[in-house]
Amino acid sequence: MLGFSLGKLLLLVLLLAAVWFGFRYMSRIDAVRRTLREELARRQRQPPTAPRVQAEDLVKCSACGAYVAAASAGNCGRADCPWGRAR
Residue 87: is its pLDDT beyond 50? no
Q: What is the pLDDT of residues 56-85, one digit of tens each?
A: 888 887 777 788 777 777 777 777 777 765
Q: Which residues of 53-79 are buried (b: 16+ CB within 10 A; e: fewer)?
A: eeeeeeeebeeeeeebeeeebebbeee
End-to-end CA distance of the chain: give it in Å, rounded.
98
Annotated domain spans of the chain = 1-45, 58-87
Using the predicted structure, report yes or no on whether residue 9 has a pLDDT greater than 80: yes
Cα Dmax for the chain: 106
Residue 50: pLDDT band with limits 50, 70, 90: confident
